[in-house]
């Protein structure tokens, strides 16, 4: 059995995620021993210290010459990106016990779709949705979906990780979720 360090639940040896809370479990296998860890002797440590002493330090910054764009307000690209809003996606559950539920995905705020009640996109009640099913995140303005090793898969042209378009429909178990690009 593999015990979860987060909630204490017991899981199968081969489980990658906790059945109780969905947390990632430690990889199965023996714990490393002292023999597995390389140890540096005194000679190697001396060489590392010498190399650090001889490391090149970066030069001092040079003041901007006349006619350059030292002041960022004068730079030709100043303000070129003003008004651009970061991408925001809304996920709308279309079918199943959670129809009409929505979740918002923005850069830096990934959303998990699974059967755990604490999930931003909780699909509990769909027997084909795993406790750790998929993660959706915004990367460079695109919505990315990644199946997290779910038992029944995530479908919409998804093999491992896939960028999504406005209007795409995802299938988690039997639950359909439509992607809406808000900005």
Q: What is the pLDDT of residue 102?
A: 92
Of the listed ranges 31-45, 89-103, 143-157, the least confidently predicted one is: 31-45
Structural domain contains residue 133: yes
Structural domain contains residue 48: no
As a whole number of angstroms, the distance between CA 168 and CA 183 comes to 16
State the total domains in the chain.
Answer: 1
CATH number of the domain that residue 171 is part of: 2.60.200.20
Residue 143 to residues 89, 111, 123, 164, Cα–Cα distance (Å): 7, 11, 19, 5
Q: Is the pLDDT of residue 12 over 50?
A: yes
Task: Count Cβ neighbours within 10 Å for each residue of 56-70 and write b for 16 or more, e otherwise.
Answer: eeeeeeeeeeeeeee
Q: What is the pLDDT of residue 86?
A: 76
Q: What is the mean pLDDT of residues 147-162?
A: 73
CB neighbours of 30 closer than 8 A, spacing ≥ 6?
A: none
Structural domain contains residue 107: yes
99-147 per-position pLDDT tens digit: 889 999 998 889 999 888 888 888 888 888 888 889 999 988 888 889 8
Q: Which residue has the higher pLDDT, 120 or 15?
A: 120
Structural domain contains residue 7: no
Structural domain contains residue 103: yes
Q: Is the pLDDT of residue 37 over 50?
A: no
Structural domain contains residue 142: yes
Number of H helices, E strands in the chain: 1, 12
Give the mean pLDDT of the chain. 74
User: Which residues form the domain of 154?
Assistant: 88-181
Structural domain contains residue 30: no
Structural domain contains residue 6: no
Q: What is the pLDDT of residue 35?
A: 52
As a whole number of angstroms, the distance between CA 82 and CA 94 comes to 35
């Amino acid at each position: 059995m593999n015990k979860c360090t987060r909630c204490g639940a017991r899981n199968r040896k081969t489980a990658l995620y906790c059945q109780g809370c969905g947390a990632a479990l430690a990889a199965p296998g023996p714990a490393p021993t002292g023999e597995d860890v390389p140890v540096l002797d005194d000679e190697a440590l001396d060489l590392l210290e010498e190399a650090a002493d001889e490391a090149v330090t970066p030069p001092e910054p040079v003041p901007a010459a006349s006619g350059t764009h030292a002041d960022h307000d004068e730079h030709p690209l100043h303000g070129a990106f003003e008004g651009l809003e970061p991408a925001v996606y809304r996920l709308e559950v279309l079918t199943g016990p959670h129809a009409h539920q929505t979740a918002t995905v923005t850069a830096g705020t990934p959303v998990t779709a699974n059967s755990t009640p604490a999930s931003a996109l909780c699909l509990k009640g769909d027997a084909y949705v795993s406790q750790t099913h998929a993660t959706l995140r915004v990367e460079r303005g695109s919505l990315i979906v990644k199946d997290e090793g779910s038992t029944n898969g995530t479908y919409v042209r998804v093999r491992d990780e896939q960028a999504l378009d406005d209007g795409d429909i995802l299938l988690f178990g039997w639950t359909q979720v439509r992607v809406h690009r808000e900005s």
